[in-house]
A and B are shown apart, each in its own frame.
Chain A
Amino acid sequence: MEENKKTLSLLERMKQKAVEQKSYGGEFTEEPAKVNARTCQNCGAGRSQQDGLTHCAYCGFEFLSVKLTDGINIKKEDNTQNI
């Protein structure tokens, strides 16, 4: 009986410690899906399909400073041509 009590009180303390602690990285918040569109911060133009993703078709502003390769959904063709 005495034994059992000791075990239970140890478990109780362990549980309290486990629950009350702060977790590394803090609370995790589930982010919902969202849509937005980037416009050129230089001239205000939007990005359209035929213009490619890397540069602004109007003023040449650089949206992405890399050369796109064939990835999952983004493909080589998404590099802005004619710049």
Chain B
Amino acid sequence: MQETKERFFAFIGKLEDKLREFTAASIPELVALNDTDTDQFKRGYHRMKSAVLGQLDSIQKKALDVKEEKITCFPFPNDDHEISKIYHQFRNECYDRFFQLDELYSKCREQVESTHQEDFESKYQKILDEYETLKDKFRCEQCGSPVTIDKIYFTTTYITCPSCQTRNTFEPSSQAKMLEHIGRSLAEQRTSHLLKEHDEIPQKTQTLYLQRHEIELSLIHESDKRIIEQKRAQMQEMEKQKLELESKRPALYQTYLRAMFDEWNKINPALADEHEKFYNRLLNDYHK
């Protein structure tokens, strides 16, 4: 077992080196490709990223397969209590070592993923700029009078000529047709700090719980009454903070959701009624 463990640790170490080395080498390549890929959806970049992630997967899988074969299925006499104990010790150590690799693998994946962040602000800005240049550009197909595009449309629509009353069909550009979609992503991006505040609460309450627990333990050997009282007060305060945080949590979610939908409505007011129904649904789902 000792020998297997040593070999396993060395093997995992080598795979970790590969993970680090390959991630470090691919990131500049991905960043460069992301900058130079002229495709609207950066499909070349995405294919390359997918291949890089595939390689990281192959390393993790190699570790997993060997863990299964050499550690989980390590042959030992089952009836011997002593050996069984040693085996479990050995297995746990090897599993822990594998989890270290697994954590590194997750970090590497995150680094690779973060080489691309969609820039919704600039996509939205392009739609706004385009609108400024086209709103007074069109003429009625029937009589030639100017036809004003009165707002940003994201679906094809009919616009009436003020002179001859003809219904002209206005078809927005492909980028303007993405307004509803970009609007949501952009609104989420702009309000992500509020969601983060909500999402962080469980971790904060957990920390408070652990701190309180530690004080509680320290009380066991404490005999000084003054200190005991002090510590008890401290614990009470922590408990209060924890409860406050927990009760604040639903309100924080609602604050986020309201802000997100307000942003979305500002970007695409045409669907404000529909957004409102979606908002109510998400809020109801949250309270379920």
A residues with CB within 8 A of B: 3-4, 7-8, 10-11, 14-15, 17-19, 21, 23, 27-28, 30-38, 46-50, 53, 72-74, 78
Cβ of B23 to closest chain A Cβ, rounded Å: 10
Question: Interface with A: B69-77, B111-119, B136-144, B198-206, which one?
Answer: B136-144
Of B21, B165, B174, B271, the residue contacting A31 (CB under 8 A) is B174
Known: A11-B25, A18-B44. A33 touches B134 (CB 8 A): yes
Cβ of A80 to closest chain B Cβ, rounded Å: 11
Of A3, A4, A50, the residue contacting B165 (CB under 8 A) is A50
A71, closest chain B residue (CB): B155
Chain B residues 119 to 137 lying within 8 A of chain A, measured CB to CB, are: 130, 134
A37 touches B40 (CB 8 A): no
Size of chain B's interface in residues, with CB distance under 8 A? 48
Q: List 24 A-B contacts (CB under 8 A).
A: A11-B25, A14-B48, A18-B45, A19-B44, A27-B39, A31-B173, A31-B174, A32-B173, A33-B172, A33-B176, A34-B171, A35-B169, A35-B170, A36-B169, A37-B141, A46-B142, A46-B166, A47-B166, A48-B160, A50-B165, A73-B153, A73-B155, A74-B158, A78-B158
Known: A15-B29, A33-B173, A74-B157. A7 touches B21 (CB 8 A): yes
Of A19, A38, A49, the residue contacting B160 (CB under 8 A) is A49
What 0/1 pattern do residues 261 to 274 of B give for CB contact below 8 A with A? 00000000011000
What 0/1 pattern do residues 151 to 188 of B give for CB contact below 8 A with A? 00101011110001111111111111000000000000
CA distance A68 to B130 in the complex (A): 30
Cβ of A12 to closest chain B Cβ, rounded Å: 8
CA distance A48 to B173 in the complex (A): 24
A72 touches B141 (CB 8 A): no
Hey, which chain B residues are within 8 Å of A30, CB to CB?
40, 173-175
Q: Which residue, B22, B26, B52, B167, has most C-beta atoms of chain A within 10 A?
A: B167
B47 touches A35 (CB 8 A): no
Hey, which chain A residues are within 8 Å of B149, CB to CB?
33
B170 touches A49 (CB 8 A): no
Hey, which chain A residues are within 8 Å of B147, CB to CB?
35
Known: A7-B25, A15-B33, A74-B157. A35 touches B167 (CB 8 A): no
Cβ of B271 to closest chain A Cβ, rounded Å: 7
A37 touches B167 (CB 8 A): yes
A72, closest chain B residue (CB): B270
Known contacts A11-B29, A23-B44, then 13 further A-B pairs from the complex at CB < 8 Å, ordered by chain A residue: A17-B51, A23-B39, A23-B41, A23-B43, A30-B174, A33-B134, A35-B139, A35-B141, A37-B140, A50-B165, A53-B158, A73-B158, A74-B157
CA distance A38 to B270 in the complex (A): 25
Hey, which chain A residues are within 8 Å of B167, CB to CB?
37, 46-49, 53
